[in-house]
């Protein structure tokens, strides 16, 4: 995320809403970057659970 163009060149004031939007967007992107890992771990847990259930039924 670039913080360029956050200062109004005419008044010299910062663009606070734009800064807040960019910070929130960066936080969201950071959170979402780990979702693939959660999905992968969830899939692995599902496979282990299915294999365990299959083994338990096969022994009966």
Indicate if the pLDDT at residue 1 is higher than 80.
no
Model pLDDT for residues 14-53, shown as the tens digit of each residue: 678 888 888 999 999 998 888 889 999 999 999 999 999 9
Question: How far is residue 48 from each of residues 9, 37, 40, 52, 59, measured CA to CA in Å?
Answer: 59, 17, 12, 6, 17
pLDDT band at 56 (very low <50, low <70, confident <90, very high): very high
* Domain range annotation of the chain: 16-58
């Amino acid at each position: 995320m670039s913080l360029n163009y956050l200062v109004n060149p005419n008044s010299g004031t910062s663009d606070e809403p734009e800064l807040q939007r960019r910070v929130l967007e960066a936080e969201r992107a950071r959170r979402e970057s780990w979702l693939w890992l959660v999905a992968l771990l969830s899939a692995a847990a599902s496979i282990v659970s299915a294999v365990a259930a299959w083994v338990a039924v096969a022994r009966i």
